[in-house]
Amino acid sequence: MPGNHGHTLRFIEFMDVGATNGWQLGSVVPAAEVLRLLQAEWPLEPITADPRGVAHRWRYADGGGEVGLITSVTAPFCADCDRARLAADGHLYTCLFAKAGLDLKTSLRAGYGDADLAALLASLWKRRADRYSELRSADTAGLPKVEMSHIGG
């Protein structure tokens, strides 16, 4: 049984991040289907939601581990997202679907201190309107996006 090792498994729905993964909505296996398949083999119990996380969490009934399901396509959570990613080139992205990031490297090299960086990040976060997954439609399909391999998944 997977739960005997104490590992946490995470299943994320196939997302249309970037332009090179051949994404099609019909290729998405909904998290509800993954949960159904898992529960057919191993009894699972829901875990109270962690307000800091994006996964819906379930524990094996034997207490040996847990599973997380990330519903980025079938039940997007853009409004509650608190994630950002810093790419190796120094750009900070507030969304996996962003087409551009904030250039922190230049600010750091210009001598920005902790307070300056905190203000810059707070301003960016207050202005963010990343809602691609909630708005996903034929109108968003052609928008330019950064490749997940560039900013980390």
Which ranges of 16-103 would DSSP assign to H, the alpha helix?
Answer: 31-41
Give the pLDDT confidence score for residue 31 in this predicted structure: 94
In whole angstroms, what separates CA 82 from the centre of its chain?
A: 9
Q: Is the distance from CB of 130 to CB of 95 less than 8 angstroms? A: yes
Residues 82 and 55: their CA atoms lie apart, in Å, by 13
Q: Which two tokens stand for residue 87?
A: 């790419």
| DSSP SS3 for 116 | helix
Give the pLDDT confidence score for residue 103 in this predicted structure: 95
Give the pLDDT confidence score for residue 3 in this predicted structure: 45
pLDDT in tens, the chain (153 residues): 554 666 788 898 887 776 777 777 788 899 999 999 999 999 999 998 776 678 899 999 888 889 999 888 888 877 778 888 888 889 998 887 777 889 999 999 999 999 999 999 999 989 888 777 777 766 666 666 677 676 665
